Structure 1
Amino acid sequence: MASFVEIGRYNVIPLSLASLCTCPYRPTLNKTLIFNQKRYPKFNLRIVFDGSRPMFRFRQSGISTNRHFIVAVARAQADRLDEDNAREEVDKGNNLLVIEDSVSERQQKASQLKKRIVSGLGIGISFGGIILAGGWVFTVAFAAAVFVGAREYFELVRSRGITAGMTPPPRYVSRVCSVICALMPILTLYFGQIDVSVTSAAFVVATALLLQRGNPRFAQLSSTMFGLFYCGYLPCFWVKLRCGLAAPALNTSFAGIGAKWPVLLGGQAHWTVGLVATLISVSSIIAADTFAFLGGKAFGRTQLTSISPKKTWEGTIVGLGGCIATSVALSQIFRWPTSLLSAVAFGFLNFFGSVFGDLTESMIKRDAGVKDSGSLIPGHGGVLDRVDSYIFTGALAYSFVKTFLPLYGV
């Protein structure tokens, strides 16, 4: 340990030259004053007057304290170096942890993106084959997706974020409504229309809610009726579009698609207005989502709405352009619709329906306080997360082809 001297303990501060000499001139002294303390017997304090400059000297048992002072300074510097080294090691460790976290985060994002691509391709190929098959294959597969989507919707309605402000419908009512929603596409294909079936189902469900035990609430009735409309009635228009518009798209034979289609799969008669319209509508929605995502990443600055903070006006405009371009390009390939203006209008309606459906599902999830409606599809969440852009679009596409296109656009 280094030796330290506390000068204040020796009471030398009151000492001054005036007390040593009262002469009017400054003396020239060559003397040494020695102060000894019993408390610190090893230290001697000497004040040496050399000419007119006082100097302090310390001695420790006859050995100069300069050497001890140097040793103490060296040890202090060594301790400081050790502390600096330790701090550098800690900083290096923290930096390594940060680097490892960033690397693991990038790996996780890459793995998530890979899952999204693989599952997206699988869904796209499977759904494309189902659309081409049409008929009962399309309807039954569609009904299964509607059932899962309805279950997810009623689970969202029962979540804590929504139940904090309203009373959800009983669980048995939710299950019955999910089954009714799944039956609606099948009834649409069988009867050709769904109005009577939907009205009857809504009446039965409303009666069950009003006659339930306890205190029936309007929130239960409104959320259930919207579930029947959102998850059951609106998706039925896809069945009416794909399977109901059976007029042959004769122009496709000139493009070579209908002429080369195998006879075992229906031949030229298989290429109906409903099939072509469904393919163009689905492809336009996929293009709208893709271009909107890429445009938002590249140019996104202005937020579109607080319902979905990641959506921007720039991305929306790019998505609209991609949707219309896809609709026009496919109309030239399939030779339907024959009017360019009709193809542009069809693309605009598809984009509007996809954005509206996406924002509606985002609003439901925001009130429910969840990020995804489910976890059935790896990398994509639930079924509602994947089909939200299609829910309203089927009704718009069917109404446009059925009502506004003369001769179904052939």
Structure 2
Amino acid sequence: MKASFVEIDRFKLSSLSLPSLCPCEHGVSSKTLAFNKSASKLKLKVILTCNESRSLVRVPRDRRFGVNRNCRTLTAVARAEPNQINEGEAKGLYPEVDKGPNSEQIEVDAGMDRNDNLASDRHQRASQLKKRIVFGIGIGICVAGIVLAGGWVFTVALAAAVFVCAREYFELVRSRGIAKGMTPPPRYVSRACSVICALMPILTLYFGQIDVSVTSASFVVAMALLLQKGNPRFAQLSSAMFGLFYCGYLPCFWVKLRCGLAIPSLNSEIGTSWPIFLGGRAHWTVGLVATLISISSIIAADTYAFIGGKTFGRTPLTNISPKKTWEGAIAGLAGCIATALILSKILHWPTSLLSAAAFGFLNFMGSLFGDLLESMIKRDAGVKDSGSLIPGHGGILDRVDSYIFTGALSYSFVKTFLPLYGV
């Protein structure tokens, strides 16, 4: 006999055949449910053999179709079209499918499977969080040592990070989501831009300024694009120039902040006890103190924003990053300013609390909009992370997006604002 189709998941099973039942007095009853997908090669046959002590479902495997829990497959069939089954039963087309003595056990097994899946998800999230914390602490220790070392150690490490960031940026530009609406630059131009971006911090430390390097790099990239085979496109030029600005020019301000402001921070008491073989008191310059406060403030902003968003987050901040909330942003701002104030008291720079609060506010704004800009690029590219270099964190660009604009803002604050107002 044929009945109207039932649907399990995405497969439409168009026929249901039931042979006659064996007499119950024999102690065994059998029911065969045969499902055929119309106009397809997919065939599934379920044989149910029931007796007083057990229920067994046997499902021959198809090359493209597998069943994890057979009993649950039968339960899904029984529940797929309950009204149709009852109607057919009322008309005498086919008998009611017996649930059997172990039907309650099947429901219990299904519930246990759901609990196991939830427990597996929680375990995976906990493992991911643990990995993020471990690698985050390791990265923080390495960055602290590099910042304290300064000079060529700091510059070369920054150049290496810039090179990886530039590679990740141009891969995002070449992704399907962005390239669908524009023409990305050729690969040889992208690779040349990555190398140029990595050379910019080194040239900044060597020459003491970055104007010549940026101008020369822009000219070389523009000529390479204009002289390429085929028809040059403005989208190629704009994405390449923004890459030079975003991944090369802006990070150079960290070199100018850390290594360029070599004036000793005379009020910092920690310099008096700093070992002579590590540079002594002269090692603690305004650039070092400002860099430590800026980086620490950004870390505090990200941490407090995450905790505040998870705990109190209700109001979305922007459509660019749906997970960010106003509550998290306010918590991040408070944590950033508080960290800047505490470190200014410890390091005795800047001497004015108002200047320290303004410095913290500036760092927060730079980190927030740097994060949002990278989120916008990833959203258009259709990816979650810019890369997978750091386990649990994604790519390098995912970790340093908050620092890209902050270096320029911090340097401008220390170099221009503080001397201008005499604080």
Alignment TM class, shorter chain as reference:
0.7 to 0.9
Whether the 8 Å contact between 1:402 and 1:408 is mirrored in structure 2 is no
Q: 1:231 aligns with which of 224, 240, 247?
A: 247
Letter in 2 for 1:112: Q
> 2: distance between equivalents of 1:85 and 1:389?
61
TM-score (norm 1): 0.79
Shift, 1:237, TM fit = 0.2
For each residue in 1:74-106, what CA deviation from the matched residue of structure 2 results, as whole angstroms up to 9, or x when unmatched? xxxxx9996153432322222121111111111
Whether the 8 Å contact between 1:156 and 1:364 is mirrored in structure 2 is yes
Letter in 1 for 2:286: V
> 1: distance between equivalents of 2:420 and 2:373?
33
1:340 aligns to what?
Answer: 353
> 2: distance between equivalents of 1:258 and 1:88?
74
> 1: distance between equivalents of 2:169 and 2:135?
22
1:198 aligns to what?
Answer: 214
Gaps in structure 1 of 5+ consecutive residues? 3-78
Whether the 8 Å contact between 1:375 and 1:381 is mirrored in structure 2 is yes
2:154 aligns to what?
Answer: 138
SS in structure 2 at match of 1:338? coil
For each residue in 1:53-79, what CA deviation from the matched residue of structure 2 results, as whole angstroms up to 9, or x when unmatched? xxxxxxxxxxxxxxxxxxxxxxxxxx9
**Percent identity among equivalent residues?**
78
Counterparts of 1:18-29 in structure 2 under 5 Å? none
SS in structure 1 at match of 2:324? strand
2:91 aligns to what?
Answer: none
Q: 1:150 aligns with which of 166, 183, 187?
A: 166
Aligned residues: 332
- Distance change >3 Å, CA 409–CA 235, structure 1 → 2: farther
Letter in 2 for 1:242: R
Counterparts of 1:76-95 in structure 2 under 5 Å? 83-95=99-111
Counterparts of 1:159-174 in structure 2 under 5 Å? 159-174=175-190
Whether 1:313 aligns to 2:326 is yes
Whether the 8 Å contact between 1:401 and 1:409 is mirrored in structure 2 is no
Counterparts of 1:239-250 in structure 2 under 5 Å? 239-250=255-266
1:291 aligns to what?
Answer: 304
Letter in 2 for 1:159: S
Whether the 8 Å contact between 1:338 and 1:409 is mirrored in structure 2 is no
Counterparts of 1:196-275 in structure 2 under 5 Å? 196-253=212-269, 257-275=270-288
- Return the structure number with greater helix share: 1
Letter in 2 for 1:100: D
TM-score (norm 2): 0.76
> 1: distance between equivalents of 2:145 and 2:183?
41
Shift, 1:408, TM fit = 10
> 2: distance between equivalents of 1:90 and 1:207?
71
For each residue in 1:10-44, what CA deviation from the matched residue of structure 2 results, as whole angstroms up to 9, or x when unmatched? xxxxxxxxxxxxxxxxxxxxxxxxxxxxxxxxxxx
> 1: distance between equivalents of 2:235 and 2:205?
32
> 2: distance between equivalents of 1:315 and 1:252?
33
Q: 2:362 aligns with which of 344, 349, 352?
A: 349
Letter in 1 for 2:301: A
2:133 aligns to what?
Answer: 117
Higher mean C-alpha displacement, 79-88 vs 224-233: 79-88
> 2: distance between equivalents of 1:312 and 1:409?
37
> 2: distance between equivalents of 1:406 and 1:398?
12
Letter in 1 for 2:284: W
Whether 1:387 aligns to 2:400 is yes
- Distance change >3 Å, CA 268–CA 222, structure 1 → 2: same
Shift, 1:233, TM fit = 0.1
Gaps in structure 2 of 5+ consecutive residues? 1-22, 25-94
Whether 1:325 aligns to 2:338 is yes
2:413 aligns to what?
Answer: 400
Letter in 1 for 2:325: T
> 2: distance between equivalents of 1:228 and 1:93?
58
> 1: distance between equivalents of 2:263 and 2:420?
9
Shift, 1:299, TM fit = 0.8
> 2: distance between equivalents of 1:372 and 1:249?
39
SS in structure 2 at match of 1:186? helix
Shift, 1:407, TM fit = 8.2
Q: Which has the higher contact order (CA 8 A, sep 6+)?
A: 1
Larger C-alpha radius of gyration, 1 or 2? 1
> 1: distance between equivalents of 2:262 and 2:342?
23
